[in-house]
Amino acid sequence: MPDNDEGCFLGLVLLIGPKALSLETEFTTGKDSVNFSEQNLSIKETVYNGMLGLRSSFSLLVLDFHIRAGGHIRKRELETTTNGVAVKETPSSYVSPYAGGGVSIGMGPLQGNAGVTAIFIGRPNSSDIEYQYTLGLGLGF
């Protein structure tokens, strides 16, 4: 069992075009670290994600619903320290398709949003799917 587990995840989404069919780009980064003092082991991971795709939205009163699909790329950096000796790895980046949906609520430029996106990573099995859940605030222009 780890002594402590710390993480941080930040992201930015940019939509260009009309709500019915817009271009979306998304960038997220996350950092995670886990320490196992009894084994004298620490693991730090930094992940960079990029998405480029299409989004279609429609409104119903104060709710906006959307569906999205496109391509996802991920870059990982992993550092494992055992007994004071650090080993850094940068596994290969790979591109995977994604699809998802969500809902936003609010009026004017400030909105709260929630969604889920399935990333079809295909690693190690071709049927592997990674789910990304989001909850956040949006600022519109």
Domain holding 31, by residue range, is 4-99
Distance CA 66, CA 133 (A): 14
d(CA 24, CA 11): 13
Structural domain includes residue 66? yes
Distance from C-alpha of 7 to C-alpha of 34, rounded to nearest angstrom: 9
* H or E stretch covering 44: strand 41-60
How many other C-beta atoms can be found within 10 angstroms of the C-beta atom of residue 55?
23
Residue 134 is assigned to a structural domain of this protein = no
| Helix, strand, coil % in the chain, rounded to nearest 5 | 0, 75, 25
Whole-model pTM over 0.85: no
Type of residue numbered 94: Y
Total count of domains within the chain: 1
Asked if residue 48 belongs to a domain, the reply is yes
Q: Does residue 71 form part of some domain?
A: yes
User: 104 in a domain, yes or no?
Assistant: no
Q: Are 118 and 100 in contact (CB under 8 A)?
A: yes
Return per-residue pLDDT of the chain as tens, 141 residues. 556 666 777 888 899 999 899 999 999 999 998 888 888 889 999 999 999 999 999 999 889 999 999 999 999 999 999 988 899 999 888 899 999 999 999 877 888 999 999 999 876 566 789 898 888 888 776
Read off φ and ψ for residue 23, nearest 5 degrees.
-85, 135
DSSP H helical segments within 35-139, as ranges? Answer: none
